[in-house]
Structure 1
Amino acid sequence: MAKNKRRRWNKEYFIALIEKLKSQYDYPILIIAGPDEIEVGKAIQARTKTLLLLNAPLANVAAIISRLHFFINTDSGLGHIASCFGIKGLTIFGPANELQTAPFSNNSNIIRYPVACAPCIDKKKKPNCTLDCLLKLTPDMVFKRVQELLD
């Protein structure tokens, strides 16, 4: 998840993606939620029955990420941590500019839904923004990309 609410993917989309991943792969799934994401993390965990790490110290989070097989995140700093450890991952991008903020690693990948108004984060936010860049990026699209990267 992401601290900035405008960078967060829909909670229901995360739930749908986790259910698809659980049906296809035999990997344990861990949700990592920071201080601004506790309620969302708990809601996703309650619906998906996955592991949940809440508001842990960054050093502990980094140690856990270093042991992962694959890492999915929205545009946030944790993708950079996974990248530093060489963990294969997929970052879900919405309004931010991936050319400026995406993790830089051969194992790091991004997915975004192309919209004419992106990027538009912070001061460049477009009037009447509906966040189509995140809303039109469906769990099926993300799942398909994860399959391509894992298979």
Structure 2
Amino acid sequence: MKVAFLDRDGTIIEDYSDEVWTSVTAPVFIPEAINVLHTLTLKGYDIIIVTNQYLIEEAYITQAQYEQITEKMLQKLEEKGICVLDIFYCPHRRDAGCSCLKPRKGLIMQAVDKYPQINLNTSVMIGDSDADMLLAQSLNMKGFGIGIGKEYKEGDITQVSSIKEVMMFIP
């Protein structure tokens, strides 16, 4: 099973400064993100979202706010015919030392434990942060870094300027 692992904030929906997240009540989709997710599913990828949500334990947002935004995002995607297989998130503080805060491998390992048929060799990681690409590198996965502007000497990392550009590289 090949999976497109996607970061959420800044990749699928808009990201904000930590303080602004406090007042966010609904997701705003990144232009073309819905089309890209649809195309990925047509190309045989299952969609799994892996997202750092340290905002919860650092008290910028509540667990309920996270769930509300996520529910609205999933509802909109479902309306567009996009099925998200699962979402794995890290609610821990950045200084908690947990194993799931990206770039650590915990979120993807949770996915592999739940779905042992996942083949990381045919899967991809799509995200807008250095942490996303370091995670891809650590698992020898193909990574697509959106607007990161950093070159990686190791691993199969492709820099792209937008999520739409990812589709130029997915067979």
TM-score (normalizing by structure 2): 0.52
After superposition, what is the alpha-carbon deviation per residue over 1:30-76, rounded to whole angstroms, capped at 9, x for unaligned? Answer: 01122149465544433132022233633521525786321111124
Of 13, 18, 21, the residue aligned with 2:40 is: 21
Per mean C-alpha deviation after superposition, the further-off stretch among 51-60 and 82-91 is 51-60
Tell me the secondary structure at the aligned position of residue 144 of structure 1.
Answer: coil
Of 16, 28, 31, the residue aligned with 1:5 is: 16
Distance in 2 (alpha carbons) for counterparts of 1:98 and 1:10? 24
Percent of pairs with identical residues: 11
Give the superposed CA RMSD.
3.3
Q: What does residue 123 of structure 1 align with?
A: none
Of 88, 112, 135, the residue aligned with 1:81 is: 135
1:2-151 matches, within 5 Å, as 2=9, 5=16, 10-23=29-42, 25-35=43-53, 36=55, 38=66, 41-46=70-75, 47=77, 48-50=82-84, 51-55=86-90, 57-58=100-101, 59-64=105-110, 68=120, 69-93=123-147, 96-99=148-151, 103-112=152-161, 137=162, 139=164, 141-145=165-169, 147=170, 151=171
Structure 1: runs of 5+ lacking an equivalent: 113-136
The alignment of Structure 1 onto Structure 2 pairs a total of residues equal to 114
Aligned in 2, Cα 1:84/1:60: closer, same or farther, shift over 3 Å?
Answer: closer
Q: How many Å apart are 1:14 and its aligned residue?
A: 2.2
Tell me the secondary structure at the aligned position of residue 32 of structure 1.
Answer: strand
Larger fraction in helix: 1
Aligned in 2, Cα 1:30/1:138: closer, same or farther, shift over 3 Å?
Answer: closer
TM-score (normalizing by structure 1): 0.57
Structure 2: runs of 5+ lacking an equivalent: 1-6, 18-27, 57-65, 92-99, 113-118
